[in-house]
Chains A and B, each alone.
Chain A
């Protein structure tokens, strides 16, 4: 790891994080830490049934209980014409018709559709009073059969939404069906796999929370909330839900304790809190407990897929096709429809030159929590399909899995895949070679023999992933159905003393923007990093921005800052020209100083700022005073981080315990701003991917009860479940943004699951294992292996 001193504080330096001091001293300010004068507390009465009509609600007794200020139901929201929650990405069916979406009221109207669905809210002086009163509400439910299983939802007799009579939201496809079918007919070999991508709960450690406040004098609302994109929340709450016009609604997302996608979305609870603040004339606070988070945070993944890969006689991949059913839960969450479609199928080419690809995706409604983007969002699902297929194909063809991958890698760039994407740069072979060295691939045979001598099964698994990040060109996503543009904004305010505030539309919830963004500004302006402050997360302070998800804050958010800095420097040159009495064309800016070409005359950045504000040296009509510039940056393409992760496991066939013995990760993220932070992102992503592969799985029973609704039932990765990781990097700069950044936030979660499962199946010698590969599942699978070995 590069040290802080060797590279200063600019791009490429592992600068220790500026934000850490408040976190390590207990001075962070998260939403639940915020208390407003006169604040009341909200508790949501949630449906105990997965699917039921609401025949009646009797809240009279509850409303009369001590401390209760109000009890509201869906009827009250409807009476106030509060709009439903929206899905912001339109998907069209194969026949061109729009997807079939049912209404999503913030409090149920007439029907509940999953366990945890919001029936009433009780607002009381204390949380305990609100909870006590909620128990006195009598709801008469007409229980209906629950639709739970992903694969059979479309054929179920029970209907979740009348708008989708076969529980199907859309039948969508992408790619070239005819060319793909022809390639399969001509194939020398076809590899076939049935794959379940297990349902996950994101579980950031900070549960969601919201404080709604209403200022009667101003007629204005403030919402403090756990959001990854406060401006998008304001837009949706204003334009679609109709809480208040945007100029009368301030959304503040202060310190946010992790998101992983789950805090992108606009949920029922914050909608109700901000609306109710005006109704009761008091600030209203709600904080999720962990079981509420399990029940009502948007879940991730949940795909059932049949996948096939065609190869020719030389082992060259000629085609790939998939048929996927994606569970979107009981309602369409904010970006849910984009996840199993445009964030999934365009990545099915992986790192490989595949001439023909065809994907069919059916999305279904079920009586389960809404499913939306979770770290990687669609790309982990695609990578799991591709990397399992490729691994199994190599085994079936008797080829070394590393060599088989290298044979089929895309080697020339730019490369147009058959599924939308134009890969701009990469060198996949370089990452593979480096990863093979780190893992000591040559020594694998000996290690396998050593394990066998100890009665253990050792296996190695590859994952050569690619992802599309830095989402994205607004025109491109618009043409695919997005309801918003995906640019980013920045404003650079230079103060008269030369210190700088950067207002960014990106939002940091663990990624360290306050440090990395300051590194860019410090390096570019030649000023100490202490003189740079990053401001984010408050719609009253920061101009409209799109927020943080899809590994976009570096590639898109920092590029906006880069553009704004260009303008600051250009304006500074004009000021410096007056002060230094030189022609503007002769002014250079290097290492924090404006200089006059061919002379020793110079003006440091801080003095230039002062001159810009005092405006004594120039005529304010010829040049505007001040030094503050903004930029909106819309990228020219997605970015394509890629890499190779190799996992080596040792299985104890007597206990079924899988120990991860080695992990080599070689990622190409383009230009890296802060290696320490980037490596941290890789570690965390791998941990979540290993969690999916070995430990985590959200389980509903046949009645639609979530049986994994606490940390006692849902297995989160803990320190002793994981190894330390060997992380390396290769670099091909991204040509699609001015900084050459590709993004790193999701890579580990995308790469890890197939690496683990490929390693386990290598150890077992058969493919019969599903995620999560728990000790019980691995033990069962290993008995087959042990029997076969005994027979040999």
Chain B
């Protein structure tokens, strides 16, 4: 067993785990945060996407021990003070989900796309950047609409008003 300390959704977590434990296992089994899903085990489908230090990663192929000292955000930590994140709102408003299984990973990936690509996203950019996430229900039509609208809403909410956090920092 090995110990690992990190923050999950802003809360300090210290766990003693089998060294082969994956980040998704730490989240789902140790922390009982079951919003992060496993869809394929081969980092193809993206149902397991979470943010580690602000960047999207596939938690099904990340060792928990490699996240020592990291700040992890999961779908459960995206809403703040009870208010949904604009991307969550957009997925509901534009019917960007059906069975809901890929949805947490989709939303986390979508927020990452906005962080990397900005608030004004065209369809081609969204479709290309969504390459690491598979949905079997929606045909992506409404997911693409939701992400475009969510990005715009994030822009409207942003303090800077123009640049998403990471772009601005870079």
Distance of A776 Cα from B57 Cα, bound (Å) = 32
Asked if A5 is at the interface of the complex by the 8 Å CB criterion, the answer is no
List the B side residues contacting A725 at CB < 8 Å.
139, 141
| CA distance in complex: A530, B103 (Å) | 24
Binds B, one of A68-76, A361-369, A481-489, A715-723: A715-723
CA distance A679 to B141 in the complex (A): 10
Contacts A204-B99, A724-B141; A20 near B47 (Cβ below 8 A):
no
Contacts of B142 in A (CB 8 A): 680, 683
CA A748 to CA B123, docked complex, whole Å: 22
Find out whether the CB atom of B127 lies under 8 angstroms from the CB atom of A720: yes
A719 touches B98 (CB 8 A): no
CB–CB B35/A28 < 8 A: yes
Per-residue interface assignment for chain B, residues 1 to 36, with 1 indicating a CB less than 8 Å from any chain A CB and 0 otherwise: 000000000000000001010000000100001111
Interface residue? A256 (CB, 8 A): yes
A207 to chain B: which residues have CB within 8 Å? 38-39
Q: Which residue of B lies closest to A4 (CB)?
A: B93
Q: Is the CB of A205 within 8 A of B102?
A: yes
Nearest A residue (CB) for B128: A720
Residue of B nearest to A33 (CB): B34
Chain B 71-104 against A: per-residue CB contact (8 Å), 1 yes, 0 no?
0001110110000100010011101011111111
CB pair B127 A680 closer than 8 Å: no
* B126 interface residue (CB < 8 Å to A): yes
A272 smallest CB distance to B (angstroms): 21
| Given A26-B76, A710-B42, A683 and B134 contact (CB-CB distance below 8 Å) | no
Contact A205 to B140, CB < 8 A, known contacts A25-B75, A25-B76, A510-B99 = no
Q: Which of B44, B76, B107, B126 contacts A719 (CB 8 A)?
A: B126
User: Are B92 and A20 neighbours in the complex by a CB distance under 8 Å?
Assistant: yes
A682-723: CB near B (< 8 Å → 1, else 0) gives 011111100000000000000000000011100011111010
B34 touches A26 (CB 8 A): yes
Chain B positions 120 through 141: 1 when the CB is less than 8 Å from some CB of chain A, otherwise 0: 0001001110110111111111
* Complex CA–CA separation, A26 to B37 (angstroms): 9
Q: Is B64 an interface residue (CB 8 A)?
A: no
Are B137 and A258 neighbours in the complex by a CB distance under 8 Å? yes
Q: Are A710 and B40 in contact (CB under 8 A)?
A: yes
In the complex the two chains form, is B135's CB within 8 Å of A205's CB? yes
* B45 interfacial contact with A, CB 8 Å: yes
Can you name the residue of chain A whose Cβ is closest to the Cβ of B147? A719
A345 contacts B by Cβ under 8 Å = no
A260 neighbours in B (Cβ, 8 Å): 136
Most chain A Cβ neighbours within 10 Å, of B79, B84, B98, B141: B98
Q: Is the pair A719, B18 in contact by a Cβ cutoff of 8 Å?
A: no
Q: What is the CA–CA distance of A748 and B98 in the complex, to the nearest angstrom? A: 15
- Do residues B136 and A255 form an inter-chain contact, with CB atoms below 8 A? no
Q: Is A780 an interface residue (CB 8 A)?
A: no
**Interchain CB contact (< 8 A) of B37 among A30, A716, A722:** A30
Q: Name the prevailing secondary structure of the A interface residues.
A: loop
CB distance from B134 to the nearest CB of A (A): 5
Interface residue count on the B side (C-beta < 8 Å): 54
Please measure, in the bound complex, the distance between the C-alpha atom of A683 and the C-alpha atom of B94, giving whole angstroms. Answer: 13
A206 engages B99 (CB within 8 Å) = yes
Instruction: Output the least CB separation between A531 and chain B (Å).
Output: 20
**At the interface, yes or no: A88 with Cβ under 8 Å from chain B?**
no
Q: Which residue of A lies closest to B35 (CB)?
A: A26
Q: Give the docked Cα–Cα distance between A511 and B123 (Å).
A: 25
Question: In the assembled complex, how far is the CB of residue B77 from the closest CB belonging to chain A, in whole angstroms?
Answer: 9
Are B99 and A683 in touch, CB under 8 angstroms?
no
| Per-position binary interface string of chain A over residues 26-37, scored 1 when its CB falls under 8 Å from any chain B CB and 0 otherwise | 111110110000
B98 to A206, Cβ gap below 8 A? no
Chain A contacts for B42, CB-based, 8 A: 290, 710-712
With beta carbons under 8 angstroms apart, the residue of A16, A255, A720 that contacts B100 is A255
Q: Quick check: B136 and A720 within 8 Å, CB to CB? A: no
> Could you tell me the distance between the alpha carbons of A510 and B138 in the complex, rounded to whole angstroms?
10
For residue A128, which residues in chain B have a CB less than 8 angstroms away from its CB? 18, 20
CB atoms of B93 and A16 under 8 A apart: yes
Q: Which residues of A contact B126 (CB under 8 A)?
A: 719
A790 to B126, CA, bound (A): 39
Identify which of B39, B40, B84, B143 contacts A24 (C-beta below 8 A).
Answer: B84
Contact between B98 and A258 (Cβ–Cβ < 8 Å)?
yes
CB-defined contacts of A16 to chain B, threshold 8 Å: 92-93, 95
Q: Roughly how many angstroms separate A511 CA and B143 CA in the complex, as a whole number? A: 16
Q: Are B39 and A205 in contact (CB under 8 A)?
A: yes
A645 at the interface (CB under 8 A from B): no
**B151 interface residue (CB < 8 Å to A):** no
Decide if B136 touches A680 in the complex (CB within 8 Å): no
B44 A677 Cβ-Cβ under 8 A: no
A178 close to chain B: CB less than 8 A: no
Chain B: which residue is nearest A256 at the CB level?
B99
Closest Cβ of chain B to A516, distance in Å, is 12
Residues in chain A near residue B44, CB distance under 8 A = 710-712
Which residue among B18, B76, B100 has the maximum number of chain A CB atoms within 10 Å of its CB? B100
Decide if A53 is an interface residue (CB 8 Å cutoff). no
- Shortest CB-to-CB span from B35 to chain A, Å, is 2
- Cα A29 to Cα B101 in complex, Å, equals 10
Contacts of A509 in B (CB 8 A): 99
Q: List B contacts of A283 (CB < 8 A).
A: none
- Report if B41 contacts A (CB, 8 A): yes
Q: Are B79 and A677 in contact (CB under 8 A)?
A: no
Chain A residue contacts of B139, Cβ below 8 A: 683-688, 717, 722, 725, 748
Q: Is the CB of A205 within 8 A of B91?
A: no
Q: Is B144 an interface residue (CB 8 A)?
A: yes
The answer to whether A522 has its CB under 8 Å from any CB of chain B is: no
What's the minimum C-beta distance from A27 to chain B, rounded to whole angstroms?
Answer: 7
**Does A719 lie within 8 Å of B127, measured CB to CB?**
yes
- 7 other A-B residue contacts (CB within 8 Å) besides A291-B41, A710-B40: A20-B92, A25-B84, A510-B137, A680-B138, A710-B44, A718-B131, A722-B127
Report B's interface with A, CB cutoff 8 A.
Answer: 18, 20, 28, 33-42, 44-45, 47, 74-76, 78-79, 84, 88, 91-93, 95, 97-104, 107, 123, 126-128, 130-131, 133-144
**A residues neighboring B (CB under 8 Å):** 16-17, 19-30, 32-33, 128, 203-207, 255-258, 260, 289-291, 509-512, 676-677, 679-680, 683-688, 710-712, 716-720, 722, 724-725, 748
Write 14 A-B pairs (CB below 8 A) sorted by A numbering. A24-B100, A25-B76, A25-B78, A25-B84, A33-B28, A205-B136, A206-B39, A290-B41, A510-B137, A679-B95, A684-B98, A684-B136, A688-B136, A719-B133
